[in-house]
Amino acid sequence: NAGVTQTPKFRILKIGQSMTLQCTQDMNHNYMYWYRQDPGMGLKLIYYSVGAGITDKGEVPNGYNVSRSTTEDFPLRLELAAPSQTSVYFCASSWRETEAFFGQGTRLTVV
């Protein structure tokens, strides 16, 4: 099993550009999450999904969008990138109350 796979690992965007961060899990988990990690700030929840077709905002959703058309995939879309979106992004998945499994992260720089 691959677990949670994120692509790309690194990306540099120019201000105003858009991109999609891909996330796939092969554990048939119903819950999926997107977090961003900034130094000293821990992980902040951007969006989450409790099943295919169901998504909801987390703590810091502005500037992002998500969709969940299948159990396996949970892409994160950045529209009109801004320097404040420079961060490390982690996708994770879990069964309801059990531990989350994390991808290796995407390091995004907006210049």
Partner 1 sequence: AQSVTQLDSQVPVFEEAPVELRCNYSSSVSVYLFWYVQYPNQGLQLLLKYLSGSTLVESINGFEAEFNKSQTSFHLRKPSVHISDTAEYFCAVSSSGGSYIPTFGRGTSLIVHP
- How many other β-carbons are positioned within 10 Å of the β-carbon of residue 109? 13
Of the candidate spans 12-20, 66-74, 79-87, 95-103, the one that interacts with partner 1 by CB under 8 A turns out to be: 95-103
Residue among 27, 58, 73, 82 that touches partner 1 (CB under 8 A): 58
The two tokens of residue 48 are 């989450």
Coil, helix or strand for 83? helix
The two tokens of residue 1 are 């099993």
Of the candidate spans 21-29, 63-71, 76-84, 89-97, the one that interacts with partner 1 by CB under 8 A turns out to be: 89-97
Handedness of CA 33, 64, 108, 73 (dihedral sign): positive
| Contact pattern for partner 1 over residues 11 through 50, marking x by CB under 8 A | --------------------x-x-x----xxxx-x--x-x
Residues forming a β-bridge with 64: 78
Shortest distance in whole angstroms from residue 72 CB to partner 1: 18
Handedness of CA 82, 86, 87, 93 (dihedral sign): positive
Of the candidate spans 19-27, 61-69, 70-78, 98-106, the one that interacts with partner 1 by CB under 8 A turns out to be: 98-106
